[in-house]
C-alpha cells in the first residue's frame, strides 16, 4: 500500500490501538430542522342584539421539517505493530426525514349580556398531518415499536407490509398493542353487547362487529396479530403483558422468504 493510500485510509478510518485511538471519528451526524408558522384573525363589527356580540374568527398554520443523515466510517483494531486484527465496516449511510403540518381554525363570540355579565362562546378545530416516510427495501435487521402501534397508530395490513419490505430476510419485528380486554378501555354497553353477540352471528356480520371492537386498528388481540402477520412473518413469541396503563399484546416476529 502506498504512503498516500495509507494516509487516506488513516484519515477516513477510526484506529483503535493498545497505545490509544487515532484517525477519523467513526460516526458523523448532520441534522437540519426548520419550522414556519403563522396565524391570522379577523374581528367583526359589534352586533347589538340581546346585548352586544363581538365575533372573531381566526386560523393558525405551521409546518415543521426535520432531516439528517448519519455516516459511519470503518473501524480498524490494530496490535502494537500496527497490524489490523479486525476491520469493522458500516456500508450504509442512514438518513431520515420527518415533517408535519398543523392547522387550526377557531370562532368565538364575546357576548356582553349586561355591563356586569358576559359569556365567551366558540369552538376550535385542530388537525396535524405527518408526512409519510418510506425506506429502501431490506434496510433494517430490527423494527421496534413499543407503546405506539394499535394504541396511537392504527395497526393495519398496509403498515405490516411496509415493515416487511423494510426488513432483511430473518429480520425481527418487535411491537406491542393494546388488548381490547384492557381495563383502560371504557366498558360501554355497546362494547359489551357487541362482544356477546358477535360469536352468535354469521361470519360476515361478526367480522364487522369485531372491526368496531378493535376500533379500526387502535386495539389488537392475539387473533388480530396472527391475522396480520400470517403473510411473510413467523411469530417467535406472543404474550399478554400488563403495564401501569394497559393490558398489552407483546409480539416478536421474524421475516421469512416469500
Count other Cβ atoms within 10 Å, centred on residue 151. Answer: 22
Give the separation between CA 141 and CA 168, rounded to whole angstroms.
6
CATH superfamily for domain 134-258: Vaccinia Virus protein VP39 (3.40.50.150)
**Domain spans of the chain?**
134-258
User: Of 125, 122, 123, which is closest to residue 53 (Cα–Cα)?
Assistant: 122
Residue 125, pLDDT above cutoff 70:
yes
Give the separation between CA 115 and CA 132, rounded to whole angstroms.
52
User: Do residues 124 and 104 lie in contact, with contact meaning Cβ atoms separated by under 8 Å?
Assistant: yes
Residue 133, pLDDT above cutoff 70:
no
Q: What is the pLDDT of residue 1?
A: 43
Region of poorest pLDDT, from 42-46, 107-111, 130-134, 198-202: 130-134
Give the separation between CA 17 and CA 155, rounded to whole angstroms.
48
Q: Quote the longest CA-to-CA distance of the chain.
A: 94
pLDDT digits (tens, 9 = 90+) for 52-68: 999 999 999 999 988 88
First to last CA, the chain: 44
User: Do residues 61 and 100 lie in contact, with contact meaning Cβ atoms separated by under 8 Å?
Assistant: no
Residue 185: is it exposed, middle or buried by C-beta count within 10 angstroms (0-12/13-18/19+)?
A: middle
Residue 8, pLDDT above cutoff 70:
no
Residue 16, pLDDT above cutoff 60:
yes
Cell numbers describing residue 105: 381554525
Cell numbers describing residue 132: 409519510
Amino acid at each position: 500500500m502506498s504512503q498516500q493510500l495509507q494516509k487516506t485510509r488513516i484519515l477516513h478510518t477510526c484506529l483503535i490501538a493498545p497505545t490509544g485511538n487515532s484517525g477519523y471519528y467513526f460516526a458523523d451526524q448532520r441534522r437540519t430542522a426548520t419550522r414556519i408558522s403563522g396565524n391570522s384573525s379577523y374581528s367583526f363589527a359589534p352586533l347589538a342584539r340581546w346585548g352586544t356580540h363581538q365575533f372573531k374568527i381566526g386560523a393558525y398554520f405551521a409546518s415543521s421539517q426535520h432531516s439528517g443523515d448519519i455516516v459511519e466510517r470503518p473501524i480498524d483494531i490494530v496490535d502494537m505493530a500496527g497490524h489490523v486484527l479486525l476491520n469493522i465496516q458500516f456500508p450504509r449511510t442512514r438518513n431520515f426525514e420527518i415533517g408535519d403540518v398543523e392547522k387550526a381554525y377557531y370562532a368565538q363570540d364575546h357576548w356582553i349580556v349586561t355591563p356586569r355579565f358576559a359569556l365567551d362562546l366558540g369552538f376550535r378545530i385542530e388537525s396535524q398531518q405527518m408526512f409519510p416516510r418510506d425506506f429502501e427495501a431490506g434496510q433494517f435487521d430490527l423494527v421496534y415499536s413499543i407503546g405506539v402501534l394499535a394504541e396511537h397508530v392504527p395497526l393495519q395490513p398496509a403498515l405490516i407490509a411496509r415493515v416487511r419490505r423494510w426488513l432483511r430476510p430473518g429480520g425481527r419485528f418487535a411491537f406491542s398493542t393494546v388488548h381490547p380486554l384492557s381495563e383502560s378501555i371504557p366498558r360501554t354497553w355497546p362494547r359489551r353487547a357487541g362482544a356477546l353477540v358477535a360469536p352468535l352471528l354469521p361470519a360476515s356480520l361478526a367480522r364487522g362487529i369485531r372491526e368496531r371492537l378493535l376500533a379500526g386498528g387502535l386495539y389488537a388481540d392475539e387473533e388480530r396479530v396472527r391475522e396480520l402477520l400470517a403473510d411473510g412473518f413467523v411469530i417467535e413469541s406472543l404474550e399478554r403483558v400488563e403495564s401501569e396503563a394497559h393490558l398489552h399484546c407483546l409480539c416478536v416476529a421474524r421475516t421469512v422468504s416469500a
